[in-house]
Amino acid sequence: MPVYGAIEAGGTKFNCLVGSGPDQILAEIRIPTTSPAETFGQVLQFFGEQAKTNPLAAVGVGSFGPVDLYPGSPTYGTITSTVKPGWQMTDFVGPLKAALRVPVAFDTDVNAAAYGEHKWGAARGLTQFIYMTVGTGIGVGEMCAGKLVHGLVHPEGGHMLIPHDRQQDPFPGVCHFHGDCFEGLASGPAMQARWGIPAEKLPASSPAWALEARYLALAIINQIYMLSPQRIILGGGVMEQALLFPLIQEEAQQLLNGYVRSPQITDRIEEYIVPPALGSRAGVLGALALAMDAAGPRE
């Protein structure tokens, strides 16, 4: 059975694995995201070691970004305008290809997670859906008509603008580029800055959750209007708070106000706005799925 490599590259850690499916993982490692040289050094060491016993057919990458996904661009395969110090214009695909000499698939972290959910998780059989992560940042991966969406660059749904009532919530937002965009208002760091303690320490009784659910629901209904997704998958650290799901589902129904007529929304919203079936492994397993495609059809 062919074996593939997968990398979920995040701002704090790289999750890497070698295997051929969710139930066939041969090795797995977490590498801290320090400098590109140090982190890639460890990544290449891991895959180099693994390849001695299990030659890799391809490697898939889901990366934090923004990234250049445009084939033919001189900077294809690089992390571009990230705020992560030391990582601006870092070539990702080049060093991997040079060292491992196999096809490398490259996409955003959220597109990879969407793909993992499509292949093995909560979006099996769907052709149009979104995967949104609410963590250190907010990112949105999209599948449209059966394909992961790229485009001019790639969608940046985390930075959409949503109504911000400064009377009710005077918090100015934390986005380095836009202040009170969606990510600026609703990411984990935004919650921490607004309420003075990390989101995971806020009690269930805190007004933080209703406000968070409102921002998430506002962003979600915009995406429902734009894409008509068949399902919305919400992952990331902040969504570990299971209490958010019913709050978001109810708020979304109220905001939509019966306009988008589908039983998915009116009768079964708990099956429509859902957590990832693969949990926190959606991204790295999606990178594995991308690698399997990059290797081409099996003989």
By CB under 6 A, tell whether 279 contacts ligand ADP. Answer: no
Instruction: Pick the closer one to ligand ADP by CB: 95 or 135.
Output: 135
Q: Can you say how many angstroms the Cα of residue 179 is from the centroid of all Cα atoms in its chain?
A: 21
Work out the burial of residue 283: count CB atoms within 10 Å of its CB; fewer than 13 is exposed, 13-18 middle, 19 or more buried: buried
Q: Do 255 and 162 form a contact (C-beta atoms < 8 A)?
A: no
Site for ligand ADP in 228-257 (CB under 6 A): 236-238, 240-241
Return the number of the residue (241 or 253) whose C-beta is nearest ligand ADP. Answer: 241
175 contacts which partner out of Zn ion, ligand ADP, none, CB within 5 to 8 A by kind? Zn ion
Task: Rank residues 139 and 229 by Cβ distance to ligand ADP and give the closer one.
Answer: 139
| 141 sits near ligand ADP (criterion: CB under 6 A) | no
- State which of positions 95-114 bind Zn ion (CB under 5 A): none
Residue 261, CB-side half-sphere exposure with 13 Å CA sphere: 0
One-letter amino acid of 218: L
- Shortest Å distance, C-beta 187 to ligand ADP: 7
99 dihedral zone (left: phi>0; alpha: psi -120 to 50; beta): alpha
Residue 38 interacts, among Zn ion, ligand ADP, none and using kind-specific CB cut-offs from 5 to 8 Å, with: none
- Angle, vertex CA 139, rays to CA 290 and CA 90, nearest 5: 65
CA 92/CA 51 separation, integer angstroms? 19
Whole-number Å distance between alpha carbons of 89 and 81? 7
x-marked contacts with Zn ion along 151-180 as a string, rule CB under 5 A: --------x---------------x-xx--
Indicate which single residue of 141, 188, 229, 276 sits in contact with ligand ADP (rule: CB under 6 A): 188
Q: Which amino acid, one-letter code, is at 185?
A: L
CB of 285 vs ligand ADP, minimal distance in Å: 15
